[in-house]
Amino acid sequence: MRVPAESLVYESGFLGVVPKKLAGESHNHNHNHKGINYLNEILLSKVYDVAVETPLEYASKLSEKLDVHIWLKREDLQPVFSFKLRGAYNMMAKLSREQLRKGVICCSAGNHAQGVALSAQKLGVDAVVAMPTTTPEIKLKTVERLGATVVLVGESYAEAQEYAKHRAKEEGRTFVPGFDHPDIIAGQGTVGMEIVRQLRAPLYAIFVPVGGGGLIAGIAAYVKAVCPEVKIIGVEPYDANSMALSLYHGQRIVLDKMGNFAEGVAIEEVGEETFRLCRELIDGVVLVSHDAICASIKDMFDEKRSILEPAGALAIGGAKAYCKYYGLQGENVVAVTSGANMNFNKLRLVSKLADVSRQHEPEAVFSTIVPQKREKLEQFSGLVWQQKKQVKSCSTFSLLVAHLICCVKFHTVSELRQMLYTSNSKNLKTKINLTKNDLVKNDLHFLACDQSSIENEILCRFVIPDKPGVLMKLLNAFNGRWTMNLFHYQGQGESGGNVLMGLQVVSSEMDEFKALADTLGCDYAFETSNKALQLQLH
């Protein structure tokens, strides 16, 4: 069953899709039978031949802000900067001599590939890694440095996987899956074993990032067997929620499209065995936004001076949202920081989005009508800068015709409300709160100011993959057919980029425009009615 990610949306922090067998039940041992068979395999795992026991570190700043004891399980400190090494080595170390002689193969665009490559190096095994052609060069080179042979094939993970499985049969190689194998799951389960051993205090919950489900299935199998009262909570992005949707529908689904911002968990279909375990053992899934993920990356930098990849910070975002939503106080919670293989050119976008989501230091973007008189502009400026006890910083202050677009950070939400009230009382009408408007965050400062809209102009946003030639293909597809007034591209690292286009398309040609847009294979949405744009054009 193919399902769109947006078909399941609930408030960030809410514990959704609680498996039916757990709904209304008190914690007991009745639902442990599905994972109990993994307990011995986890205890006897061979992961420590190559992996390390990562520390469980206290996050003092986050704990103080949330009034909860937040602990970070630092899987980003593994030799390949990701937990994936555990499962890959545990499976490969169990192969027979004959299987090792024939070699292994896997498909991956990131952390699993590095785990397989290092494991093969340790075991003296020939390894082939199939990667999509869109794989960033930095990850490709890293895998090659570890001694594996990289083969670029196809434009998607599915195509690379098909190639890897076909070659495995042809050459007799062992295919090493990313998550859906008992030995992979058992290897990842050692993370849960370490958490239980390291935290000498009552534990309320463990928050785990979810992609294919190998990590959370392994952790749940161990923890629910020895500490069934501890909650195991999955965390997924809103636009890559294959586990949440599978639990919701009671069967594995396939995402018809998904976001790649947190590419480490962007999996269109969870594993068969991982789904079976999660359906029985986990306590639900929390969903978070890109903004929340970026804020968590910044939290980690503030806390430990470490930079996580988006998937690696996912659990922190889920833990924060859950604690706030349920008003949790004084409890011990663990967030697994699963990886630190950050693509450097994505940092600019992360930095831009990080502050918008930090609710303990609220940042607002709003539009105020300012009569074109010097004293009125000075009056509004005074509201922003002279109230030093309220305003923490002002990062953007732009006058667009008679509208002032202002980005201001406050210490508390109530202080922000007070300033807006004062503004309106002085006949400086703040009409629209633009804080959650993506156009403002990504593109508004690039748009030219004009008092009158261009006749028949539409504004359309495209999401394109990070692949050579795609940007020019998009540009050329429309440029010869309609007049183009705007073309703004903003890269988002290995997850691709956003293109904002302004074209003059009459209503009778809209069907033709949509048909052409559909053939490009990119997700797109119209922004013509966006409130921020209307403020600027009128």
- Active-site residue list: 84, 338
* Alpha-carbon 290 to chain mean position: 6
Token pair of 223 as six digits: 């923890």
User: CA 148, CA 116: separation in Å to the nearest integer?
Assistant: 8
Q: Cβ(270)–Cβ(242) under 8 Å?
A: yes
Q: Using DSSP, state whether 501 is helix, strand or coil.
A: strand
Q: Using DSSP, state whether 97 is helix, strand or coil.
A: helix
User: CA 92, CA 176: separation in Å to the nearest integer?
Assistant: 8
Closest CA relative to residue 501, chosen from 460, 471, 533, 443: 460
Within 10 angstroms of residue 37's Cβ, the number of other Cβ atoms is 12
Token pair of 407 as six digits: 């980005």
Q: What is the sign, positive or negative, of the torsion defined by CA atoms of 38, 44, 46, 48?
A: positive
Q: What secondary structure does DSSP assign to 121-172, as a single string?
A: HHHT--EEEEE-TTS-HHHHHHHHHTTPEEEE-SSSHHHHHHHHHHHHHHHT
- Number of helical (H) and strand (E) elements in the chain, helices listed first: 20, 20
User: CA 493, CA 460: separation in Å to the nearest integer?
Assistant: 21
> Which DSSP helix (H) or strand (E) runs through 479?
helix 470-479
Within 10 angstroms of residue 500's Cβ, the number of other Cβ atoms is 21
Q: Cβ(84)–Cβ(336) under 8 Å?
A: no
Q: Which strands form 104-107's sheet, in the order they lie side by side? A: 149-152, 127-131, 104-107, 174-175
Instruction: Give Cβ neighbours of residue 142 (< 8 Å, ≥ 6 apart).
Output: 114
Integer Rg of the chain from CA: 25
Q: Using DSSP, state whether 384 is helix, strand or coil.
A: helix
Instruction: Give Cβ neighbours of residue 428 (< 8 Å, ≥ 6 apart).
Output: 368, 369, 370, 376, 379, 380, 383
* Amino acid found at 446: F
